[in-house]
Structure formats: structure tokens, C-alpha cells
Amino acid sequence: MSAAEKYTTERIIDVQRWAPNLFSFRTTRYNGYRFVPGQFARLGVRKGDGVVWRAYSIVSAHYDEHLEFFSIVVPDGKFTSELSRLAANEELLVDKKNYGYLTIDRFAGGRDLWLLSTGTGLAPFISILYDFQPWQQYENIILVHSVRHAHELVYQDVIASFANHELFAEHAHKLQYVPVVTREPVAGALDQRITDLIRNCRLESHVGLPIDVDRSRIMICGNPDMVEETRQILMDRGLTISRRGKPGNLAVENYW
């Protein structure tokens, strides 16, 4: 790698296939690569003579030696059709810069951190949970993961493992994990879309906490329709978007 290059060439360490259209993978990490939990990297795959670049939220902890990502496979997708073919030891390009504002430093005050995700939008929230700060800062952390089918409820082992993790165990009681499955009945999971669950207040009664301006800090990530509709519902209830230098209640990330 020359200093002038904007990216490093990393190698795939391993790949975990969750379903035909969902997988996670770990890569080596350039030791100068820095990011804040919740941020995304830009990944590149070579195709023909060129490189195709896409944004990918980082799943792994900011202190891990590797980087981990969680990906969809889009049928005939320019990027994911190449990415999903990669195996251990193969090359992946990683932009040296870190990107994005889905980070808890966007917020000030508050008592409850709500992490609302659909599909692969879960990714940044795993990295945020690997960070000690939110566990210290908030009284409650509510992780909502909405998917269509039960087999898409991935990372359950990681989520459960915080209860016994040497760093987080003393705060583990703060975490409520709320799986949502919209296309088939699943024991223990809610069965409506996040937008409906907020509109009809089922999410709040299920969790046992109100969503309000003073106590709630809410991150929303994934499908842009869900992100936009949820943002609008919450803004109609008086919550505000966090902006640089003007902290509010909401931070959002659209995936397409």
C-alpha cells in the first residue's frame, strides 16, 4: 500500500452464511483504521478492470483486531453478486476513511437508548453494543430487530452473550432485545412492522417504557421507507433530529 492510496487491501478471514441471501464475514484490519461504533466503511470489490464500492456498517467492536460486516445478497446486485462469492484469503478493498453519524455522541442526556433496525440494519447496533459507553450512559437499551422470517433473526448468540460478558455483565439487565417477525408467527417475537408498533403504542407497552422527548434517544437504521416513516411518526410526537452541535432525539441511517 502506498501512502497516496485511499484504501488498503485486506483479506477475508472467514465467512458465516446465515441463509442463501444473508451472510457475515470478517476481514483483516489495517492497524491505522479507526472508526466510532455505528459508523460505516466503504468496501471495494474488483470487477473487470474497475472497482465497485459500497457503504457497509461495521459490526465489530472498535477495539477488535479484525473488521466484521453483515450483508444481504441482492439478486444480480453489482456489488453483492461479487462480494458473496468471496472466500477466506481473498482480497477486499477497504477505504481508509471512516464515515457516518449514527453514533451516540450525536445525543446528549436521555435515559433510554432505542436501537430500531430492519434486516441488515442491525449491523451498526452490534458494534454500538460492543462499546462500553452506552451501557454506562443509559438506564435502558432497547434493541429492536425487524425481519420478515424467523431465520433472519441473526446475531442472537452475540446479543445473548452480553449477559455473561466480562465487560458488560454488570449492566446486562439494561438491555431488552425485541425481535419482530412480520411474515410468520414466531413465539416471543412481535408480529407487526416497527411503524405500526410505534403508532399503536404496542412497542412501548411491550418494553414497559414510554417514548418521549426527555428520556428517549432513538437510532433508526435499515430500509429507507421504514426509516422515513418512523422518523415522521416520532417527529409528530415532538421528537427532533440530532444535528451537529444541536443534539436531539433521533439519528437515522438509510441503506439505499
- Binding part of the chain for ligand FAD, among 78-86, 134-142, 151-159, 228-236 by CB under 6 A, reads 78-86
Beta bridge partners of 101: none
DSSP 151: G
Q: Counting contacts by CB under 6 A, is residue 56 touching ligand FAD?
A: yes
Sheet with 40-47: strands ordered across:
50-57, 40-47, 91-95, 7-19, 22-28, 66-72
Show the site string, 175-214: x = touches ligand FAD by CB under 6 A, - = not: ----------------------------------------
Q: Does 123 bind ligand FAD (CB under 6 A)?
A: yes
What's 202's DSSP letter? H
Residue of closest CB approach to ligand FAD? 77
Contact present, 147 and 118 (Cβ < 8 Å): yes
Cell numbers for 85, please give them. Answer: 462469492
How many residues form the binding site for ligand FAD (CB under 6 A)? 21
Residue 140 in contact with residue 111, Cβ under 8 Å? yes
Task: Verify binding: residue 35, ligand FAD, rule CB under 6 A.
Answer: no
C-alpha cell, 52: 465497485
| 230: contact with ligand FAD by CB under 6 A | no
70 lies in the binding site for ligand FAD (CB under 6 A):
yes
**Interface with ligand FAD by CB under 6 A: which residues?**
40, 54-57, 69-72, 74, 77-80, 100, 119-120, 123, 253, 255-256
